[in-house]
Amino acid sequence: MSGSGGTREKSENANAMWGGRFEGGASDIMAAINVSIGFDKRMAAQDIHGSKAHVAMLAAQGIVSAADAAEIARGLDLVLGEIEAGTFVFKDVLEDIHMNVESRLAELIGAPAGRLHTGRSRNDQVATDFRLWLRDEIDVVLAALKDLQFALIERADAASDYIMPGFTHLQNAQPVTFGHHLMAYVEMLERDRGRFRDCRARLNESPLGAAALAGTPYPIDRTMTAAALGFDRPMNNSLDAVSARDFALEFLAAASINAMHLSRLADEIVLWMSAQFRFIKLSDAFTTGSSIMPQKRNPDAAELVRAKIGRVAGSFTSLLTMMKGLPLAYSKDMQEDKEPVFLAVDALMLAIAAMAGMARDMQPNRQAMLAAAKLGFTTATDVADWLVREHGKAFREAHHIAGALVGVAEKRGCGLEDLSLAEMQSVAPEIDERVYAVLKVEASAAARTSFGGTAPARVAAAVKAAKARLLAEEA
């Protein structure tokens, strides 16, 4: 760089794609801030796919000759081959993926390349590329989330009757099953997948043919290009087509919610691995050691998944802030739309893969979970329910009696199941020996057979239904 006001030589700077209006060279700073090829080259395949659909339509409409269209399509295939082979030379002076492709096309086939851009603008071209790219990525995210669901379902099936404490306020509340706990995340992920599917459906309209902002005087067929690119329809309004980025915001919103769900599960894995919980173990594959404390096994994979929401939610905030003040139609600000989405996709895909790996790797400690479930008087509600069922008590009265029994047990430093019948009857004379059956944490969990409950039989049914639902999608 020659300095803040320095300019490049005109011969180096003049951009053959748009430079006819400009005589002077841009400053080095302008060139640096303007270039996007460093990140938008990720859309190369989509850019070429869109160009091939566009030129095929131009030929079908008689706007370019069949011979030129065939030569352009052949050249685009050559360019894609170079990119896939890693031999393509991306040039900053050409700014973006669109100009890099078109410039190389001109080198390969000559004059016919100049006809490719007829009837379109970089504005509708980039909007089309971005939608195509994000649509492809959503399909990958959906598949990865389904794999994570299967991993959790498999683990839940194997631990459908493992008793653990369920928590509220991170305090022991009632006994639940480990399988039931994991299946809660399967349901969260299913809603996440629904949000991504909804986003995909809404973004699946074609901007191509909107041109710069107002449409084009050429007799193009936007329905033809939309169909060729797998879109449901062309977008209705040319201004909207080039300026809308709500599809990317919707994706980032869905991704942020999904990353939040992953973070919650990751946080529980961190807790479960601690010496205070010991609910699960992870192998060397998903843990690290300490440089100073040889006994340590750190759940670093879970901790990093927990951190990824910062990148994903930050990307949403970044794009939302960038878009909020832009008048129609296109502004150069919108070049900043892709990097946050690319960053979020990369972070999310890594987090999903790591979580699926940990779900398959974790080894539940059934004995530690059971022991923890017996702490904190987790069957107190079962006592209240028993008094309602067996003695016709109003629940509020039964709740009061159960609370008094907890108070007696606390003073003795024992569990409810350790109280003598005489001690219980000192609080409520109608209590009899049958109460001891409901004080077992296994019985407490098994009794909760309401739809969506934690009973092992209900967990088994939920596992079966979830498997069937996911497998039906693949049929």
Cβ neighbour number for residue 12 with a 10 Å cutoff: 10
Interatomic CA distance for residues 405 and 427, integer angstroms: 7
Check 2, 11, 169, 420 and give the catalytic one.
169
Q: Which residue has the tokens 């440089």?
A: 291
Q: How far is CA 59 from the centre of its chain?
A: 40
Tokens of 474: 């693949």
Is residue 290 part of the annotated active site? The answer reads yes
Strand partners, 177: 163
**What distances in angstroms separate CA 156 from CA 79, 264, 273, 281, 463, one per listed residue?**
49, 17, 18, 15, 7
Q: Which residues contact 370 (CB under 8 A, 6 or more apart)?
A: 162, 163, 164, 441
Strand partners, 163: 177
Is residue 11 part of the annotated active site? The answer reads no
Identify the helix (H) or strand (E) that includes residue 243: helix 238-243
Strand partners, 206: 234
The CA-to-CA distance between both ends of the chain, in Å, stands at 58
Contact 160, 179 (CB under 8 A): yes
Alpha helices in 324-420 (DSSP H): 338-361, 366-373, 380-391, 395-412
Check 65, 274, 283, 290 and give the catalytic one.
290
Contact 439, 379 (CB under 8 A): yes
Hey, what long-range contacts does 58-64 have (CB within 8 A, 24 or more apart)?
58/115, 58/118, 58/119, 58/218, 58/220, 60/221, 60/224, 61/218, 61/219, 61/220, 61/221, 62/219, 63/118, 63/119, 63/218, 63/219, 63/220, 64/115, 64/118
What are the catalytic residues? 169, 290
